Structure 1
Amino acid sequence: MEKYWGKINSKTENFHLLVYHSLDVAAVAWQLLNPNEKLCKDLANFLGLTTKQTRVIITFFVALHDLGKFTDAFQRLARFDPYLAGGFKKAFDYNPMDLKHDALAFLFFENILEKISFWHSKSNVDVRGLRQIVKPLFNAVFGHHGLPVEVSGQALLNAKKYVNEQNFVDVNKFIDRVFELLSPEFPDDWFVRDKELANKTKQISWIVAGVAVLSDWLGSNTEYFSYLDKLISLKKYWELTQSQALTAIREIGLMKRLQAQEFISFEKTFGFRPTDLQSWAERVKLVETPQLFILEDTTGSGKTEAALTIMHRLLNLNDSQGFFFGLPTQATTNAMYERVIKYFSNSLSYPTENSSITLAHSANSLNKTFISSINFDHNDYHSNEESILSTCHRWFSDSRKKILLAQVGVGTIDQALLATLPQKHQSLRLLGLFGKVLILDEIHTADTYVDDLLKNLMTIHASYGGSMVLLTATLSKKQKLNLINHWERLIGVQITNDICNQFPLATVVNGVGTISESLKSNSNNSREIGVQFLHDIDECCNFVIKKANEGCCIVWIRNTVDESIQAYHKIKKLVNMQDKVILFHSRFTLSDRQLKEELIHRYLGKASDNSLRQHTVIIATQVFQESLDVDTDLLISDICPMDHLIQRVGRLHRHIRDENGKVNNDFVDKRPSPIVYIHSPIWDQNPSENWLSKDFLGTEAVYQSPARIWLTMKILIELAAIRMPKDARLLIESVYGDDVNIPINLQNKDILVQSKDIHKINLAHNVSLKWAEGYSKRSVDSGNWLNDTLEASTRYSERDVRQVIVCKRINGELVFYHDSLLHYEYSVIKVDSNKYAKNLLQPTDIDQQIFVKKYSATKFVQIWCHEEDENYGYESEVGFYVKEKKQ
């Protein structure tokens, strides 16, 4: 038993004995499951065990995670012979394309059952009942490489060719020794058939899988666990490795409860008097059962501070692990990260605590604030090795798979939704969210696909006892009731059939029931915005040119990139200050987009005044409404559905300014009353089927339902203004309510959109994990889990969008477009795969080989030299564009 190897250094051929590696990993699990911490307490409550029982039993399972390495086939992979297998029957050669060592562990599962049954003192043992209860937990620990690996039936019989009789003898000895070390106490009800208990172990297996993965990662880290090939007693080694595991976990800060300062009052925390919504957040009654909070108010009304208040109070109430703040886009996430860092440092965490806060999205390594917080060398991407340092921020941040394990995370909602999809290592994400308060902002932006994934996340989080805070400005009544009813079903309270229709509104759903409270609007956020319509493209361009030359700042939000580029070229030629005309859309490289964001913030941000604001023209697409905390004097918007329009007008007179354009602390805006100019078709009470597509083909391609555009225009004509928050509910329900009347000629296209929505729901349901099935291949309808080569989709798209690295030539050699910024993602654009990417000029094979050899991280990303392509181009001023054909 002691001669089996578990880890080998391929360069030095030093090896670590398998029994020691198994105990290293078990020691990490033992320390993670500290009975005084929330993780162990919650798992114990879920399983109906004591914390001591829970800690010992799960650690026992984790210690057996690598039983597959006891097989003869695996041991003979070593070029030397620590195994000393001479005289034993040789099995078939190891074949990872057939079964890897994690799956081979199932060869010994029946041995484990027999041992546990033998140790149990009761005579009425039902092995089938025991198998039903512990199988999900062994599925979890055997799947410690991040994917379920369950093997049974004929496949298990075939697997016996990789093992010999001596392996079974040695495995039995090892199981006995681990039992002697840990003395697990299995409760009596684990030895009878109990479907309810079996379902509980299935549900908790996801968290056990996360513990197993995390324990194996850290237990394999040679910075803490040195290789040992000399024999010492397992009892002595168990004491030594527990000490090392405790050191590792303390230095990294793993699974450590966030030590939150006591919440005293909103005003003391944030330094100003609360609005009605914020006051509600500091006084609403909290309970220890799972709670759902929905905060509805206008943009800029202080929903973020209200959410942080609820979260802070929950931390004080039930010792939550921490919180995760999810937002819809990377840009909004970056902005929120700055705010949360300030709040975290000043008001939430004790200054002496070694606390971890991370930025969780796919481009976090390019965020300057985040990089400085972890001292991360983002220029080093020639190395393929993942480094794990003892500094807690760096450890959590060097892999997106681990990033949710930090006490506080700010990121895109996608990072949380990935925990509900069949992606390798998703159990780490689920473990990271376990015991946290989830705050999700702008949930009204979710389509039916994301909405269904969100419900699955709600199911899992509520079932584990977690609470959620949802923030919105334009959620429809139907959407809200759907979310409330879902949570009510999860926690087993009476289903609400009707809800309060006031605005602003705060709602809490918990074990007591569903309670909504109508709130007073903050007078500073009450606005009336006039509405005027422009129907001709030249009329819009002339209006922008005239106002810009008069000294106004003006923004025009267009619905497609191509339309924004066309307008930009027309307008720039005729304005007096051409250097203050800025084009902003989604087809810029990250570096150029960041520079444009900085420039827009300089001209139109909160700190700007008339010396900067005057003559500024921004031609933009939807990215403007999604990401920037700026305000404009004048706004034109292409016609769009009401919820999008409300988001857009949130950038019109967003900050209150005096006659010099400076932010006005007297709360009186000295500018003329705001007006949104809407570029739209001519109104038609009885529109034809092509009412929208005739002149607004791009708009229909983006928003698909002319009916919702028509309903938006109808209510705007009737009200002649957008009054917020007074008419917020009316504006949304007039477009998305169940009782709206759609013109007969627009109904067919709307039915098609609704059919697509149903398709999205079905697709989301099909790809989502069936949590109740436990950590197994059966938890996915298709049975297919995605490896690292593919990422599960958290967003629905009818288009395949591809990343392309924009390159140029210097001295004949291809280099990044932004060659001074060594990270390739600064030079990446995202374009439609079929429409653009596949038609771009491809580099020669030699160019490709040289480029990838120099920048290994770009191996699977398309590269494109824009200078040599006759059909497409790239400029920092314009972004990616289609070149005009020469006559």
Structure 2
Amino acid sequence: MAEFRRGASAALASLWAKLDEEGEWMSLPQHLVDTACVAALLWDEWLADSVKRSLCRATGLGEGQLRSVLVFLAGVHDVGKATRTFVHKAQFSEQGASIFDGIEREGLSLTMSRREADATAFQHGLVGEVIVEEWLSQRGFRVAGLASVVGAHHGISTEAGVRGRAGRIVRSYPPEWRAVHEEILDGMARASGFEEVLPLMPEQLNPEVTMPLVGLVIMADWIASNQHAFPLAEGGDLLERVRCGYRDVELTAPWRVAVADKGTPDDFFRTTFGWPAEFMARPVQRAALEAVESAEGACLLIIEAPTGEGKTEAALAAGQRLAADLGAQGLLLAAPTMGTSNGLFPRALEWAERNTAEGEVTSMNLVHSRKLFSQDFSRLKVAGVGTDEPGHGSVVARNWMQGPKKAMLSNFVVATVDQVLLMALQMRHSMLRHIGLAGKVIIVDEVHSYDLYMTSYLQMALKWLARYGVPVILLSATLPKETKKSLVEAYRSQFSHEPIEDMSEAYPLLTVVDKKGVREVEVEPRPTDMEASISVIPEGPEALGTLVDDLIADGGCLLIICNTVRRAQETYREFSTTYPGEVELHHSAFMAAERAHKEDALRVALGPDSHRGAGRPERCLIVATQVAEQSLDIDADVLITDIAPMDLLIQRIGRIHRHRRPDEDRPPKLRPAQVYVRGIVQREPFPLLEGGSAAIYEPAILMSTLAHLPVAFRRPDDISSLVQATYSPGFVPPADWAVEYAKAKATMRKNMDRAESRASTFQIPIPELASELGQLFERYHSSMEKPLLGEEAGAAQVRDTEPTFEAIPIIGTDYGYRPLLSLARNDSAVDLVDDFPPEHSMAFHLASSVLRLPPRLARGDAFEGNITRLERDTPAGWEHHHLLKGKVALRLDENGEIDLNGTVLRYSSEFGLETLDSSPADRSNT
């Protein structure tokens, strides 16, 4: 590469590639060799062995040969900058005239043809693809897809139609310009070793090859374009320049597993998690480790087990073994929500630090839209994590990998499940996600909580992960058999099309999918740890009030779960006057910071270490929505819940009698576990469901749940049988229900078809049907789907939720505004001025107070008027602070209210966000 740079013709050396505001510039050959050398280092020092093997399998080339292919592509990625269109971009800089003079002195005319001057699409990535394609053709080689890597190095493939027009312009270029193109391509082919590899290349490179290659080229280009790491000033020893620049970015090498082989399974778990010597691995944990040890290559492992069996630890241990065996770069742990991701992060961080080899440094990332407000992640960014204990290394959060496009490139990632599902979505720079995920072991938690729409994306992601040879571990407490079968078929489709026989209903159960087939491993269940009575109570406030009064007459902790925020607020309002100071409300319509604070306090009060007289309340009523359904480690005495699908109902039951307690912790009346189900307006002659429940969940599933609802529930004995019976396609309802159930089931089928159709609209094709890179970006070229260009908009596509928007609530004053929390805490904050950006601590406080507004405000014609109002009310100074830029404000009055184009909202720390039925003026007159 140094020889290529030294030997560059005067014409090539006169062309510019990088230009700063001060007029300093870097020549094109310098940037090309910088990028090529960084690509070589990425292959040698960053890329996982598992990805290298995957690329070798797909191409039939050896690792050294593929390295040459990558270095060549990185070295010619900007050949399209050797054009008059690109050169003219310097015309507005101070050095533009000087650059132009130098280029023309070397015989390269800068006068554009009319066709080039009028071209609307002649970007350098597009032009580079055309130049590489023609270079291959002139030498008699057809390697379909190779040139597309150059064309896509800005995060999106090129369009066939514009390639044709660009090709005609390139072919009309003067010979002296075409000579520069050939100099770049011929010289890079020699310098990279690609000249010898070219005759061995397959005739076509499919996206399973080109996506990872583009991802690596983008990484190399971004690193080589970092002016701190690679100054515009040229000269000096190239090897030293590249090594120093690469070190400056501080990428971490693939994970070298610290304790891959440590005796028995019990020894393995003790060493892996730092547990005491007397610890014995649970049956599920031991079985998971044994299952992956016997797997042939990459595999899918599904762990079905009740809460409390240590599934997360089983998955981390199994993932660690797979990473060691397959040479993975790291591991990703995905959870359903930001809250659950935050909860898993410190556990995963401790595990990662303990299992990084002594003297090694690995990187870790928390990935969701509010990670900046995680204290655990902030501490890692500032100081990293290390230990003086021998045998362990260090874990850090590297700055270069913090942007949303680069988030998957760290060794360890804790994220919301969206970050895995986005792999299946057509979106810009998706190749960086593919290269990041392709080198990891993927763990997806709480799989049962994903609806059909999200499951469709998960199935597509599983197909691509299997094609890349990525091991995947799925965790669930209650997984319907048909859902599990669809996930198994998705992963298995990449190496077998044999039909899958009926799957077991045993519980706990492990399912292993690899090239040897599908194996199910029954695991010894733990003894029954709870038997709860289940009763259906009449709908209405009177029946609820009478029941609550009776249950907690002698104290106790009662949990009421409602299916909607409004129903939870109404229920809270009913009891807060009767039991003042003893009722709490939890739902998603609280500000993010307040919700986190409330949930943390609840975990402490009802956690395993609190007892009556020592932190556990004598009497309390917890009214909540689905936020209490999973991943919230609380232990109540009794549950009253709205009707919900059986698997979710079982999750809710998991919030009572969760921990072993002395008898005195629970009043005598509540020592037997009790569950009460409401939300059924009538049962005869057929079920009539409360409106909110029927709107959120499929009535057909709720009817089947009601039909299978037992009078007594044993944990864990009854979990699988109840879930499988409820979701069984063969369910026959009672005769009196038949007509209504048939209607509900027909509606559900239509909803499922619509969900699958909507999901497929934005998905990439299955690997078998993806022969060209452009097929993974078709919607960009075939329609006006421009909203898909954004990361945030893309994330919204993988969840089947109504469109909405978030706002930061503030209190408007005569002189400006103050944060809403000032009103909630009755303190007297100084007013902030609209036109000035707040200081950092206040900006952080405001940004962490974000609130999701009701979906109705974003529906149809209402959206434009509401977002315009919010933007108008947003302080102008927010645009000048990075934490607040692009955010909108919900400017409330002193009563915490706003009339937003006819929809009246009110926020309080007691109720959260409420939608009121009348305006403040109307209420003052009644």
Q: What band does the TM-score fall into relative to the shorter chain?
A: 0.7 to 0.9
Look up the match of 2:387: none
Deviations 1:286-310 (A, max 9, x none): 3342211111111122111221221
Deviations 1:73-115 (A, max 9, x none): 1112113232523361411687896332222213412442157
1: CA distance, partners of 2:516 / 2:68: 36
Q: What secondary structure, in the 3-state scheme, does the structure 2 residue paired with 1:54 have?
A: helix
Please tell me whether the aligned partners of residues 870 and 890 of structure 2 are also in contact (alpha carbons under 8 angstroms). no
Which range is displaced more, 72-81 or 825-834? 825-834
2: CA distance, partners of 1:817 / 1:671: 40
Aligned ranges for residues 371-410 of structure 1 at < 5 Å? 371-375=378-382, 393-395=397-399, 397-410=401-414
Q: Which of these residues, 890, 894, 908, is aligned with residue 864 of structure 1?
A: 890
2: CA distance, partners of 1:654 / 1:758: 38
2: CA distance, partners of 1:9 / 1:476: 58
- Structure 1: stretches of 5+ with no match in the other structure: 118-126, 192-196, 378-389, 663-668
Q: What secondary structure, in the 3-state scheme, does the structure 2 residue paired with 1:522 have?
A: coil
User: How much identity, in percent, do the aligned residues show?
Assistant: 24
Q: What secondary structure, in the 3-state scheme, does the structure 1 residue paired with 2:810 have?
A: strand
Please tell me whether the aligned partners of residues 210 and 773 of structure 2 are also in contact (alpha carbons under 8 angstroms). no
Please tell me whether the aligned partners of residues 401 and 409 of structure 2 are also in contact (alpha carbons under 8 angstroms). no
Cα shift at 1:737: 0.2
One-letter code aligned to 1:763: R
Give TM-score scaled by structure 2 length: 0.84
Change (3 A) 1:426 1:587: same
1: CA distance, partners of 2:304 / 2:762: 30
2: CA distance, partners of 1:794 / 1:418: 9
Cα shift at 1:140: 1.9
Q: Which of these residues, 397, 404, 422, is aligned with residue 418 of structure 1?
A: 422
Cα shift at 1:360: 1.8
Please tell me whether the aligned partners of residues 646 and 726 of structure 2 are also in contact (alpha carbons under 8 angstroms). yes
Please tell me whether the aligned partners of residues 345 and 351 of structure 1 are also in contact (alpha carbons under 8 angstroms). no
Aligned ranges for residues 264-663 of structure 1 at < 5 Å? 264-268=263-267, 269-270=269-270, 271=275, 272-284=279-291, 285-346=293-354, 348-375=355-382, 393-395=397-399, 397-492=401-496, 494-523=498-527, 526-535=529-538, 536-548=540-552, 550-575=554-579, 578-611=580-613, 612-661=616-665
1: CA distance, partners of 2:403 / 2:447: 26
Please tell me whether the aligned partners of residues 530 and 722 of structure 1 are also in contact (alpha carbons under 8 angstroms). yes
Look up the match of 1:712: 705
2: CA distance, partners of 1:842 / 1:813: 19
Change (3 A) 1:198 1:299: farther
Aligned ranges for residues 703-852 of structure 1 at < 5 Å? 703=697, 705-716=698-709, 719-742=710-733, 743-770=738-765, 771=767, 772-773=769-770, 776-784=773-781, 786-788=788-790, 791-792=793-794, 793-797=796-800, 799-809=802-812, 812-818=815-821, 821-823=842-844, 824-835=846-857, 838=863, 847-848=873-874, 850-852=876-878
1: CA distance, partners of 2:876 / 2:575: 42
One-letter code aligned to 1:875: S
Deviations 1:546-588 (A, max 9, x none): 544532111100010001111111100011xx33321111111
Change (3 A) 1:841 1:490: closer
Aligned ranges for residues 691-702 of structure 1 at < 5 Å? 691-692=688-689, 696-702=690-696
Change (3 A) 1:332 1:756: same
Cα shift at 1:213: 1.1
RMSD of Structure 2 on Structure 1 (CA): 2.9
2: CA distance, partners of 1:41 / 1:750: 47
2: CA distance, partners of 1:670 / 1:41: 62
One-letter code aligned to 2:247: T
Which range is displaced more, 770-779 or 139-148? 770-779
2: CA distance, partners of 1:844 / 1:427: 35
Q: What secondary structure, in the 3-state scheme, does the structure 1 residue paired with 2:361 have?
A: coil
Q: What secondary structure, in the 3-state scheme, does the structure 1 residue paired with 2:156 have?
A: coil
Change (3 A) 1:858 1:376: farther
Which range is displaced more, 841-850 or 673-682? 841-850
Paired residues in the alignment total 831
Look up the match of 2:82: 70
2: CA distance, partners of 1:789 / 1:642: 34
Q: What secondary structure, in the 3-state scheme, does the structure 1 residue paired with 2:599 have?
A: helix
Deviations 1:622-680 (A, max 9, x none): 11113311111111101111111011001111111113439xxxxxx996121111113
One-letter code aligned to 2:405: K
Cα shift at 1:512: 1.6
Change (3 A) 1:73 1:745: same
Please tell me whether the aligned partners of residues 613 and 661 of structure 1 are also in contact (alpha carbons under 8 angstroms). no
Change (3 A) 1:546 1:166: farther
2: CA distance, partners of 1:833 / 1:493: 42
1: CA distance, partners of 2:450 / 2:553: 39
Deviations 1:593-640 (A, max 9, x none): 111111211211222211333222211101111331111111110111
One-letter code aligned to 1:182: S
Which range is displaced more, 320-329 or 276-285? 276-285
- Structure 2: stretches of 5+ with no match in the other structure: 1-11, 385-393, 823-840
Cα shift at 1:490: 1.8
The reply to whether residue 215 of structure 1 matches residue 187 of structure 2 is: no
Deviations 1:452-485 (A, max 9, x none): 1111111111111111111111111111222223
One-letter code aligned to 1:754: R
Cα shift at 1:253: 0.8
Look up the match of 1:879: 912
Please tell me whether the aligned partners of residues 266 and 309 of structure 1 are also in contact (alpha carbons under 8 angstroms). no
1: CA distance, partners of 2:451 / 2:870: 41
Q: What secondary structure, in the 3-state scheme, does the structure 2 residue paired with 1:656 have?
A: coil
Cα shift at 1:402: 1.3
